[in-house]
Structure 1
């Protein structure tokens, strides 16, 4: 098993603007989004809420999954999030508490 990697979806608010990404360090990457450390999509649209993620055994697997998710329609992504996180709770606290 290579370094664990994460595919994640962030939202501006429940059912708001969505961003899908991949990282080997989920806590650091979400922190960067939340703090608007980098000027990118998430800082422009204030996408700060981690609402869904899954772990993969290696980065190539995670990147392939990210690409598949990005091709899906918004309604499919909303369903994916709502199945595991029906209240769209910010999951970042689960890692930092």
Structure 2
């Protein structure tokens, strides 16, 4: 079974929150951390995974991403804090091998 993920990344000061969706969370987080692509997350150094939710259907993940993006920063912070009160990097200790 393949899973999809809606996730949020932030920078070290937690001043920026990026919301994304992917079918390969490990690879996507690695791309953010290594700044593999020029864009929003590399520009603002969003390399800390603070939230993710797993879905069995990519459409559900995309719908949830849209819902998050349509919400306020306060709603994003609430989602993160419910799962990760200290805003720790949830990918800390992950082995990135491709």
Q: Same fold (TM over 0.5)?
A: yes
Q: Indicate the SS of the match to 1:15.
A: coil
Question: What stretches of structure 1 move > 4 A for 4+ residues in a row?
Answer: none
Alignment partner of 1:56 is 2:55: yes
> In 1, Cα distance between the equivalents of 2:21 and 2:88?
20
Partner of 1:76: 75
> In 2, Cα distance between the equivalents of 1:5 and 1:95?
18
Alignment partner of 1:85 is 2:98: no
CA RMSD of aligned residues (A): 1.5
Partner of 2:10: 11
Relative to the length of structure 1, the TM-score reads 0.92
Structure with the higher helix share, 1 or 2: 1
> In 2, Cα distance between the equivalents of 1:53 and 1:32?
16
Alignment length, in residue pairs? 96
Q: CA distance change for structure 1 residues 94 and 72 in 2, over 3 Å: closer, same or farther?
A: farther
Relative to the length of structure 2, the TM-score reads 0.91
| Structure 1 residues not aligned, in runs of 5+ | none
